[in-house]
Amino acid sequence: MTVVSASDTPTPGVRPPDELTVLDVRDLRMRYGSQDVLQGVTFTARRGEVLALLGPNGAGKTTTIEILEGFRMRSAGHVSVLGVDPAHGDERWRARLGVVLQSWRDHGKWRVRELLEHLGAFYAPYSTDQVRRPWPVDDLIEAVGLTKHAHKKLSQLSGGQRRRLDVAVGLVGRPEVLFLDEPTVGFDPAARREFHDLMHQLSDDATTILLTTHDLDEAEKLADRILILAAGQIIADGSAEELARRISPRAEVRWSHGGQRHVHSTVDATRFVRELFAQYGDAIEDLEVRRTSLEDTYMTLVHQHESGQRDAAVRRFQEVAG
């Protein structure tokens, strides 16, 4: 007799795992006492994919990531990171991960270069033919924009410089999977842009990235897929554009012609723009296609979920009372 568990049952909208799957999470559950923090979280991620995990405070984002990192034991469900159950990951497995915490406590007397050299030494024994660990220190310092500050003590760094160092600490082992918790807090616009360029470079080099952020503009720029977590459940999974279409299938096309500004709402923006150029050609100026913003999409989906939960609770109460 074959027993099929809930974690083995395919979930609609979730790709089945294959040889390129790096993160495989199925029916993940976490309970603290009588409180269910995670209630059947399911998603996958492939090599080189960037996922943004969004959700209100208390939704379970940090718990989810800590379970994937192997820092917290789950109550139930299937979890695989790089083909290994995080609950049983050894040091060789941990060397393949990078973690950038929201904050990191350390001794301010360390100098930037000394600290990264010291941490990098722990990764050297885990180099392979495919991945050379650690990342060369000078190259890493340049990548995170700290070359001018390499000999400074940590206590002398500004908040933004300190955050750059946090990112360097997460990258020093040249990870195959990178976990980022609010990575650009304290970054100025220039530092944020440099960080985004670095993340795109890592993704192009086949690093899988899972990040949490409250900066929805950042999530839209970085992520291939958006996961929205609410009340311990994934309520949406898709690209920013796919999720926007769930809220409204229509897009606004804006353009200028003959000195006049025009706006048209359409379901098929690609077809409309093609027809527009066929009619007016190079006379079209200031063309812009706008869909529902990720912020509007996020707020709508979370509100719909919370409203649905409240309605369900009212119905249960009425059934019991009746």
* Domains (range + CATH), the chain: 21-241 (3.40.50.300), 248-321 (no CATH)
Across the range 244-254, mean pLDDT stands at 87
Across the range 53-74, mean pLDDT stands at 93
Q: Is the pLDDT of residue 200 over 90?
A: yes
Q: What is the pTM of this model?
A: 0.82
Range among 6-10, 31-35, 90-94, 313-317 with highest mean pLDDT value: 90-94
pLDDT band at 171 (very low <50, low <70, confident <90, very high): very high
Average per-residue pLDDT for the chain: 87
Q: Is the pLDDT of residue 99 over 50?
A: yes
Return d(Cα 52, Cα 228) in angstroms, integer. 8
Token representation of residue 21: 């799957």
Return d(Cα 125, Cα 82) in angstroms, integer. 19
Contact 223, 51 (CB under 8 A): yes
pLDDT at 317: 46
Q: Is the pLDDT of residue 206 over 70?
A: yes
Widest pairwise Cα distance in the chain: 74
Residue type, 1: M
Q: Verify cis geometry, omega within 30 degrees of 0, for the bond prior to 175.
A: no
Across the range 202-230, mean pLDDT stands at 93
Q: What phi and psi, each to the nearest 5 degrees, are found at residue 28?
A: -70, 130
Please write the tens of the pLDDT for every residue from 4-27.
333 344 444 455 666 789 999 999
Token representation of residue 80: 């695989």
Contact 63, 72 (CB under 8 A): yes
Q: In terms of DSSP H, where are the helices of the chain? A: 61-69, 91-94, 112-120, 137-143, 159-171, 189-204, 216-222, 240-247, 269-280, 294-321
pLDDT at 17: 65
Token representation of residue 220: 């839209």
Return d(Cα 233, Cα 227) in angstroms, integer. 10
CA 183, 169, 229, 268 torsion-angle sign: positive
Q: Is the pLDDT of residue 107 over 50?
A: yes
pLDDT at 303: 87
